[in-house]
Every structure is written in structure tokens, then in C-alpha cells.
Amino acid sequence: MTIEKNIALFPLTTFGIGGPARYFALVQNIQEMREALAFANARAMKIFVLGGGSNVLIDDKGFDGLVLKIELKGVETVKEDGHMLIVAAAGESWDELVGRAVKENLWGIENLSGIPGSVGGAVVQNIGAYGSALSQTLEWVEVLDRESDSVKTLTKEACKFGYRDSIFKREPGRYVLLHAAFSLDSAPRPDLSYKDLALYFEGRVPSLGEIREAVIQIRKKKFPDLNFEGTAGSFFKNPVLSGEEAKKLALKYPGMPLFALPESPNIKIPLGWILDYRHGVLDLRDVRVGGARMFEKQFLVIATEKNTTAADVKELAKIVQEKILVACGISVEPEVHIVAR
Ligand code: EPU
């Protein structure tokens, strides 16, 4: 395994932003991962684990440590106790995995179609979309525990998943993901609970392939085209409020939909709705910093033109956060991982 110096990171991210990594290693197996980690440990250097680069904002000055670009590959479908497990290495493309599951007629992750990034990144942030979350089908993960330098299997419960949350976010740096296993179903179980999907099929029960295609089509209308612009999807997390607080806000903003959270009495507020000028709360259409703006087809998303800097994006985010605080009294957090130099 070679450790390279001064490697540009911007081409490895969907924002297309960021300076170089001081050191950089492509990691294709656990042996290489151990070697790379030993290199960093020996120099008391910080590390950053990079997957598909689709949910990160790298600093304009780059990263002053070692970037591990995860290239662990391999997917296997196994039958276990009457159900199907699909086991994927952390460096696999998430969307290719979904495509494969759909081809193999396995239900459970099709609503998560079209999400850019790697399997490892998908687990870390417990991706969710169109009524479904990764944690609903995840069975176990295999990790390298840096504390004990051992390979461990963690159950779904040990991963402590929440809305865009997991142990991997709460204890950053401790675990590096190696594999993830998803329990999928051969019997149809379409989930059309999300309004956009139900509307798409107008009451008809679609096939597995049709659901994947529908989700991809819906997403195309809402997200910037990466061929022309940069983005990391939703820039902020939707705020989660107590039932009481949510009710107050719903009275203030009639028509605002509210979203229940699984296994929680709390309510998720659609920040995109609040940021959308058509609802009369905030109007961000003229708010721009450099080439960064809130995306006019989905106001929770930041889109960036060529030559936008990380400083521009951070400044825009700060302005928007302040406006939300003044208008609604809510502090919102970035959903995108902002990587410090
Ligand atoms: N809305 C608007 N205007 C907007 C945006 C949203 O009125 O500009 C309204 C929608 O009409 C809907 C509600 O707000 O009633 C929620 O919007 P949407 O369904 O687009 O979902 P979201 O809450 O904005 C979340 C995820 C997305 C995921 C979608 C679809 C987060 C932070 N984001 O967005 O995930 O694709 O749901 O399920 O939870 C991501 O994490 O990067 C991401 C893109």
C-alpha cells in the first residue's frame, strides 16, 4: 500500500470543493487499512475516512492528516434462516447495491434508490428517504475497532441508530466500517407511505423495479444535476421537536406537514417547507454567497456553481441558520459532515 502526499480531495466529493489531503491512502483490504492506521498512529496524526464523498464539505485548506479512501469491494447474497441477507463491503456503491437487490427480487431497500455514496457512508448516517431508513433492514455490521485493534461484529442495536444518527457519528474515529449485512425479503412488501410515492402510483400497487424507477425519477426533479453543479443533498437535518413544540409551530404555520418518527414521541419538522418562499415564512431566493445558494427545487439543499469555496458554503449556511432562528426560534444543525482542516 502506498501513502501519497498532497492529494486533491475536491474531485472525490460531490460538492467538488476542498483543498488537498496532507497524506492519502487507497484502502482495498483490512491489511492495508491496518497499515494506513499504523502510519497515522506513529505520527499522532488525525485520520479521515472517506467513502463516496457525497455528504462531506472539505475545508478549502484541505485536511492536515491522513485520508483513508475506502475501496473495500464485494457483495454476496446468502440465504439464512429462511430470509435473504445481502452482505456488502463498505466501499461498494450504495445505489449499485440497491440495483442488485432489486434485480435479485429482494425487497426492503428500494425506497433508498438513487442516493449517491458508499455503503459505509450510508450506514454511518443511517440514510433515509421516501418513508424508509437504512436501519430498518440492517442486520449487522463488521467493523475495525481502533480501540482494541480488533475486527468486531456489531448488531443493529449496538449501532444505536436514530434519525441521521448512529454510534459511528457519536463516537467518531473509533470504528472503521468493513461490511454491512441487510435482511431483505423475497415476498413483496411495497412501502408507499410517503406522499410523493403514493401520488406517483395513484393507488396502483407497483412492482419492485417500478418503485426503484419512481424514486430515481422523483429525486431527479428535486436535486441538482451533478454534471453541472455541486451538492451534498440536504444540507441541514430536519429539526426534531417535542409534540408540544411541534403543535405550536403548526398553529403558527398552517399547512405545514408534520412527520412522525419511528419509536419516538417526537415530531420531525420539514425544514425544506419552512425554507420554501411559497409558504411565506422565509424567502431565500436572493440569498447567495459566492456560487452557493439554496436550491430552488428543494430549499433544504445547497447547490454550488463551479469555483464555489467551502467558506462560501459555510457562510451561506450561517446566514440561513440565523434566519431560521429569528423566524422560528429553532437552531438547526448541518446534516452534511463539515470536515475541519
Ligand atoms: N418541501 C417544500 N419545499 C421544499 C422542500 C420541501 O415545500 O423546497 C416540503 C415537501 O413538499 C414535503 C416536506 O417539505 O411536504 C418534506 O420534503 P421532502 O419530501 O423533499 O423531504 P425533506 O424532509 O426535505 C428528507 C431527507 C432527504 C430525503 C427526503 C425524501 C433529511 C435531512 N433529508 O428531505 O435526504 O431524500 O426526505 O424522503 O432528512 C439527504 O439526507 O441528503 C437527503 C436528501
pLDDT tens-digit readout, 100-126 = 999 999 999 999 999 999 999 999 999
Work out the pLDDT band at 203, boundaries 50, 70, 90.
confident
Give me the chain's average pLDDT, please: 96
Q: Has residue 220 got a pLDDT over 90?
A: yes
Cell representation of residue 336: 452534511
pLDDT at 261 over 90: no
Checking if the pLDDT of 48 tops 90, the result is: yes
Question: What is the per-residue pLDDT across 122-141, written as a single tens digit (0 to 9) for each?
Answer: 999 999 999 999 999 999 99
Percent of the chain with pLDDT over 70: 100
**Pocket perturbation via mutation, ligand 1, pick of 124, 261, 300, 333 by most ligand atoms within 8 A of CB:** 300
Residue from 273, 287, 336 whose mutation best tests the ligand 1 pocket (most atoms within 8 A of CB): 273
Query: What nine digits make up the cell of 291?
Result: 456560487
> Is 90 exceeded by the pLDDT of residue 238?
yes
With a 6 A CB cut-off, is 233 part of the ligand 1 pocket? yes
Give the Cα-Cα-Cα angle 219, 304, 112 (nearest 5 degrees).
25
pLDDT at 230 over 90: yes
Place of cell 430552488: 296
Q: Which domains does the chain have, with CATH numbers?
A: 3-70 (3.30.43.10), 75-184 (3.30.465.10), 230-339 (3.90.78.10)
Percent of the chain with pLDDT over 90: 96
What number of CA atoms fall less than 13 Å from residue 145's CA on the CB side?
A: 11
Is 335 annotated in the active site?
A: yes
> Tell me: the pLDDT tens digits for 266-307?
999 999 999 999 999 999 999 999 999 999 999 999 999 999
Angstrom CA distances, 301 to 119, 200, 222, 224, 323, stand at 22, 22, 9, 9, 16
Task: Tell whether ligand 1 has an atom less than 6 A from the beta carbon of residue 300.
Answer: yes
pLDDT at 152 over 90: yes
> 113, 118, 132, 234: which one is catalytic?
234
Q: What is the pLDDT of residue 1?
A: 84
Atom in ligand 1 nearest the alpha carbon of residue 279: 7
Q: What is the mean pLDDT of residues 307-312?
A: 97
Q: pLDDT tens, 61-93?
A: 999 999 999 999 999 999 988 789 999 999 999
Which one of the listed residues 92, 132, 164, 212 is annotated catalytic?
A: 164
Q: Any idea how long the chain is? A: 341
Pull the grid cell for residue 285: 431566493
- Which pLDDT band holds residue 262 (cuts at 50, 70, 90)? confident
For ligand 1, whether the C-beta of 299 sits within 6 Å is yes
Cβ of 235 closer than 6 Å to ligand 1, yes or no, is no
For residue 217, give the H/E element and its range: helix 208-222
Measured in degrees and rounded to the nearest 5, phi and psi for residue 48 equal -135, 125
Mean pLDDT (whole number) for 155-161: 97
- By alpha-carbon position, which residue is closest to atom 16 of ligand 1? 270
Does position 165 have pLDDT exceeding 90, yes or no?
yes
Residue 251 has pLDDT above 90, yes or no: yes
How far apart CA 170 and CA 158 sit, in angstroms, is 12
Q: How confident is the model at residue 49 (pLDDT cuts 50, 70, 90)?
A: very high
Residue 264: pLDDT over 90: no
pLDDT of residue 113: 98
> How many angstroms separate the alpha carbon of residue 259 from the centre of ligand 1?
11
Are the C-beta atoms of residues 119 and 90 closer than 8 Å to each other? Answer: yes
Task: Give yes or no for a contact between 258 and 246, defined as CB atoms under 8 angstroms apart.
Answer: yes
